[in-house]
Structure 1
Amino acid sequence: MTGFDLTALLAERGGERYELHARHLNHQLPRMLHTIGFDKVYERAQGAYFWDTDGQDYLDMLAGFGVMGLGRHHPVVRKALHDVLDAELPDLTRFDCQPLPGLLAEKLLSYAPHLDRVFFGNSGTEAVETALKFARYATGRGRILYCTHAFHGLTTGSLSVNGEDGFRDGFAPLLPDTALEMGDLDALERELKRGDVAAFVVEPIQGKGVHPTPPGFLRAAQELLHRHKALLIADEVQTGLGRTGDFFAYQHEDGVEPDLVCVAKALSGGYVPVGATLGKDWIFKKVYSSMDRVLVHSASFGANAQAMAAGLAVLSVMEDEQIVAGARHTGELLRSRLAALVDKYELLHDVRGRGLMIGIEFGRPTSLGLRGRWTMLQAARKGLFAQMVVVPLLQRHRILTQVSGDHLEVIKLIPPLIIGEREVDRFVEAFTAVMDDAHGSGGLMWDFGRTLVKQALQTR
């Protein structure tokens, strides 16, 4: 028995959290949090809520960037992890076949019956890396197509299909790739005719800005790809597991059957890193074509018992608690109530999305007074108004949200899928109050806006 006491360590040193990050981790994170007033100290969490040191509750509309699909500390997932640890399984021997990976693969594939096999890694970007490698090997081609403004991860292969220059700058050379405008079938066909395209990777709903693919685009793209012997990769890392009101977001469009599907985030209930790449039998059999190639693609912690047990528990909860149907219903309620505000507020331009993946977009107002304030923000940095909304939602209303991407005037809502009408009411009331302030003459938000402008100009 060792003398390590986690509870005592946190009690003794937990108050140093921001200093420790500034000194030993990414020093810009605490700096950013201090600047926008997000430097909170949360003590505990349950479901869709956090509590701070004063006992105040905070509504989580971010879900850890979508990881906490079932909210925090779901009792069924928690029990499964205790059970798997207590079982003392001979995990990760690497020279046996444990039952849990096979059981989780079987269950996952039941939601995508046109697919046959699964590779388990540890994250969304690993799931994408796997899909890119498998597509290139199976087709014998090197080039990958993707959409402008896409986000597929930040490791080198995934970064090669990332549509945001801010993430790519300084990390070249990357894989051979070509970006297309989402929905541009003519551009897709032009690239495919060159004969060197392995695959087209696409988010059914782009996380950056929350932009769904146009109706019919995925089906038409799939037909073009298969005609030219290239593959369709659906990145469902954020959109999968019920987020959009179907188990996978590509299922909103009839007849779409991707060759490879990438899953991660919510699969383990937020407890254990896990990623999965689902694919067709022939692709896996090409990659693992002989016993010599049995480890040609593998991951040291892939398919570990804790991740597999958590995944099985998550899928069980989703069925037992009808999580997908709940996300569809609650998402439509939230989206429709927010959309009803568009005509009321001139700064509010659009509300879009599916299920519990919703984008709220702001834009240039028409009235002279607001237009001058808006122009001030835009001159300093696009995206500052959305940040101005996010801050009072947390500071005044204790609701955690996020700006949907750099230089975007969009807030993205990806709350735990377990929220209901009470949380919808709380968010809509808070958002309405923030919009009232933004459109009023008092200008508390605009005072903070001037602080953001100064910060933006200093970082240029």
Structure 2
Amino acid sequence: MLYPNLDVSEMFVERQAQRSAMHVRHLNEQLVRVLKTIGYDVGFQSGQGQYLVDRDGARYLDLLSGFGVFAIGRNHPVLRHALKSVLDSDLPNLVQMDVSTLAGVLAERLLDHIPYLDKVFFANSGAESVEAAIKFARVATGRTGIVYCDHGYHGLTYGALSLTDDKNFRGGFDPLLPDCKVVPFNDLAALEQALSSRQIAALIVEPIQGKGVNMPTDEFLPGAAALCRKYGTLFVADEIQTGIGRTGRFLAVEHWNVEPDMVLLAKALSGGHVPIGVVLTRKHIFDKVFNRMDRAVVHGSTFAKNDLAMAAGIATLEVLKAENLIENAARRGAELQLALNRMVPGYELLKEVRGKGLMIGVEFGPPKSLRLRASWNLLETANKGLFCQLITVPLFKDHKILTQVAGHGSHTIKLLPPLIINDEDCKWIETSFDSVIAASHQVPGAIWSLGKTLMDNAVRKSA
């Protein structure tokens, strides 16, 4: 039987003009207000590859990629075919009192990329993967302590939030998980002091921190892994954003020749359509958790191994390999960083460009000249990090590039495009950034008029 009122694509067309009103009434009104304030409420209608199209037919280059989930681009035909094949096959999905064939295939293919690990646990999201890693580490070691790094981000569920060093996210949700200790990123001495108690089950760390695109020193990750071995602590690499080719390697830890005890993946493995999270771990850890038949389901998640998610993961890995997207990320990322770094000497507001592959941070900082410094200080007084909106908003409105700041109060803009971007896209990024940054050095000017508007809004919010 067909239900004519359930044509969802037609429903999208019919109701899209009401999207903001529906969100104000039923969902997140504050998000709608933010989008309207900064001029991002353009009503995107479609997406293909690295591009988005708004209600007026304008094409945008997407440098957010849904916070990293669209590594292979939006609506990739191979992914769509894989999902349709599952829906058309009447597979025995989520029987529960059975084991999943497609989960076995995806686990096998993931471990081919990370041969020093042995077992796979599937979840529904990155945050769920972090929660599982906390539980696994505590059971495997018999310890309760978890160490994480300042400025890190691991998710917003309670355990993951307990390892997320951001007051904006944590505020109002205390008390969080006990026995979680923060140490400075890149500080091996502080890490050793924390681990020397021999009460720490795991160090959970992003190889490159997503909030700020903060890079490890060449010594930090290898040194951290060595300290974990010395004190019996498990080394857990949160590769939820950095993994699946983002940095020009399958895993970011490969740049530093580190082999973690657990690796956490999510985001890009989904292909952008069906959420998935993964914990890849050593056998001795896994066997401590699932150690008897009566503990076969001691940890799990109802939808974790659903066939659509498994198919999305399999298709994503296939596309990465067939289209050489990891190599493309390395090559295009190097080109972009070189082009953007060439601008640094010419612009006093542009401080640094850093990253690996197609995870790039463009950092701005206080200028030296008196006129620019006065304008900078006014913005900083109103709202720390506000200057970056003077870059992202014109990039969006005038150059049709979608990007955003790399965290609350941050002076860094993060570029996280699909791994499929081409030479034309790189030129688009380079010329657009050059134009907007140049305009930001003109005081008075249109960009600083925008700054006054944003500053007035910030002051009203805090009043």
1:287 aligns with 2:289: yes
Q: For 2:397, give the aligned amino acid.
A: Q
Contact 2:203 2:233 in 1 (8 A): yes
Partner residue in 2 for 1:456: 458
2:88 maps to a residue whose letter is D
Structure 2 residue aligned with 1:329: 331
SS at match of 2:113: coil
Q: Report the Cα distance in structure 2 between the residues aligned to 1:71 and 1:442, rounded to whole angstroms.
A: 39
User: How far apart are 1:52 and its partner, in Å?
Assistant: 1.4
The match for 1:340 is 342
Q: 1:266 aligns with which of 265, 268, 273?
A: 268
Q: Distance in 2 between matches of 1:5 and 1:64?
A: 25
Name the residue aligned to 1:397: 399
Pick the aligned partner of 1:224 from 227, 243, 247.
227
| d(CA) in 1 for partners of 2:148, 2:367 | 33
Question: 2:277 corresponds to which residue?
Answer: 275
Structure-1 residue corresponding to 2:123: 121
1:16-35 alignment runs, 5 A limit? 16-35=18-37
1:193 aligned residue: 196
Deviation at 1:163, TM superposition (A): 1.0
Q: Hey, what's the Cα distance between the residues in 1 that align with 2:443 and 2:300? A: 59
**1:175-225 superposed Cα distances (whole Å, 9 cap, x missing partner):** 221111111111111111212100000000000110111102111111111
Counterparts of 1:159-308 in structure 2, within 5 Å, are: 159-175=161-177, 176-254=179-257, 256-308=258-310
SS in 1 for 2:399: coil
1:412 to 2:407 alignment: no
Contact 2:130 2:154 in 1 (8 A): yes
Q: State the AA in 2 paired with 1:189.
A: E
The match for 1:110 is 112
Q: Deviations over 1:371-409 (max 9, x none)?
A: 111111011111111011000000001100010000011
Equivalence for 2:432: 430
What TM-score comes out, normalization by structure 1 length?
0.99
Q: CA RMSD in A?
A: 0.9
Note the residue ranges of structure 1 that are not aligned, 5 or more in a row: none
Q: Is the 8 A contact 2:185 2:216 kept in 1?
A: yes
Partner AA of 1:121 in structure 2: A
What amino acid sits opposite 2:164 in the alignment? N
Alpha-carbon separation, structure 2, partners of 1:13 and 1:316: 36
Task: Tell me the residue number matched to 1:156.
Answer: 158
Task: State the Cα distance separating 1:38 from its structure 2 match.
Answer: 0.6
1:442, distance to aligned residue in structure 2 (A): 5.0
Could you tell me how far 1:358 is from its partner in structure 2? Answer: 0.3
Cα offset for 1:5? 2.3
Q: How does 1:303-318 map to 2 (within 5 A)?
A: 303-318=305-320
Distance 2:261 2:461 in 1: 43
Map Cα deviations across residues 25-74 of structure 1 (whole Å, 9 max, x no partner): 11100000000011111111100001112211001011000010011011
CA distance in 2, matches of 1:401, 1:378: 21
- For 1:186 and 1:268, locate their aligned partners in 2 and report how far apart those are by CA, in whole Å: 37
Contact 2:262/2:279 (<8 A) preserved: yes
The Cα shift of 1:81 comes to 0.4
Deviations 1:298-347 (A, max 9, x none): 00100100010111011011111111001000000001100000001000
Counterpart of 1:42 in 2: which secondary structure? Answer: coil
Deviations 1:158-189 (A, max 9, x none): 00100111111111111221111111111111
**Residues 100, 305 of structure 2: 8 Å contact kept:** no
SS at match of 1:360: strand
Structure 2: unaligned runs, 5 residues or longer: none
Q: C-alpha deviations, 1:106-147, integer Å up to 9, x for none? A: 100111111001111111101111111100111111110000
Any idea what SS the aligned residue of 1:97 has? coil
Moved over 6 A (4+): none
Aligned match of 1:55: 57
- 1:223-264 Cα shifts (integer Å, max 9, x gaps): 11111111000000000000001000001012x110111000
Distance in 2, matches of 1:241 and 1:11, equals 34
| Identity across matched positions, percent | 49
3-state SS in 2 of match to 1:459: helix
- Does structure 1 retain, via aligned residues, the 8 Å contact 2:372–2:443? no
Partners of 1:47 and 1:75 lie apart in 2 by: 10
Contact 2:137 2:201 in 1 (8 A): yes
Equivalent pairs, count: 459
Return the letter of the residue paired with 2:84: H
Distance 1:284 1:98 in 2: 18
How far, CA to CA, are the matches of 2:385 and 2:379 in structure 1? 8
Give, in whole Å, the separation in 2 of the partners of 1:10 and 1:321.
32
Residue deviations 1:65-98 (CA, integer Å, cap 9, x gap): 0010011011101100001111110000001112
Question: SS in structure 2 opposite 1:396?
Answer: helix
